[in-house]
Amino acid sequence: MRLSAVLLSLALSVATALPAAAEKLPLTEISSYLNSLKTAKAAFTQINDDGSISSGNLYISRPGRMRFEYDPPEQALVLASANAVYILDGKSNQAPETYPLRRTPLSLILARQVNLQQARMVVGHDFDGTATVVTAQDPNNPEYGTIEMSFTASPTALRKWVINDANGGQTTVTLGAMETGMSLANRLFDPQLAVRDRDR
């Protein structure tokens, strides 16, 4: 066999092997992954709407609970719990800012049952060459904004999300290596305890 034929044969075999590793993940697989994600923790880096950068540690306890602990010099804490989002400023003795969780795109990750095939929920489903990118919204309230989630494969893992909020702001959260399946204390997600700890 001529060298050119050998190279062509090799190229074709490589080409036919690549798509399986490079195709976007199905929505059913991503929904199953999120539904199986009960507890998790990871370091994160956050790019805020004004271009500033924050970092810290993230804790997830599905359904419904999430905790962002920010590294110094920031003294902020953000909790999602009891169907609300609480923003605590460690430099202030004021009550936390509070918003309904359902009015934020994070509610799509924290829902008891995630179904990305629900009508009008997913408005984008793409592959960027590295990750599957799913853009989702509350199908009944698209005005609440969108969340753009990035997942890598083998195994499926959430790597990043971008929140486009109702006010036109954008926040990007990139996750480090995620640990899952651990026991997380309920106190981590208790806003009253967080206020008490802050005010000590």
Q: How far apart are CA 47 and CA 28, in angstroms?
A: 29
Domain extent for 51: 24-198
pLDDT of residue 91: 80
Whether residue 8 is contained in a domain is answered as no
Question: Could you tell me what percent of the chain has a pLDDT over 90?
Answer: 76
Predicted confidence (pLDDT) per residue in 98-115, tens digit = 999 999 999 999 999 999
Q: In this structure, what CATH number is given to the domain that contains residue 136?
A: 2.50.20.10
Q: How far apart are CA 132 and CA 23, in angstroms?
A: 8
Tell me which residue of 159, 182, 171 sits closest to 59, measured CA to CA.
182
Q: How far apart are CA 163 and CA 173, in angstroms?
A: 8
User: Would you state the structure tokens that stand for residue 118, as one six-digit string?
Assistant: 């629900």
User: Would you state the structure tokens that stand for residue 167, as one six-digit string?
Assistant: 């006010």
pLDDT of residue 35: 97
Tell me which residue of 15, 108, 5 sits closest to 64, measured CA to CA.
108
Instruction: Output DSSP code: residue 166.
Output: T
* Mean pLDDT across the chain: 88
pLDDT of residue 93: 80
Whether residue 3 is contained in a domain is answered as no
Whether residue 17 is contained in a domain is answered as no
Whether residue 12 is contained in a domain is answered as no
Please state the rounded mean pLDDT for residues 136-160: 95
Whether residue 102 is contained in a domain is answered as yes
Is the pLDDT at 22 greater than 90, yes or no?
Answer: no
Please state the rounded mean pLDDT for residues 35-55: 96
Counted domains in the chain: 1
What is the helix (H) or strand (E) element at residue 14, kind and residue range?
helix 3-22
Is the pLDDT at 190 greater than 90, yes or no?
Answer: yes
pLDDT of residue 23: 86
Whether residue 14 is contained in a domain is answered as no
Higher pLDDT, 44 or 18: 44
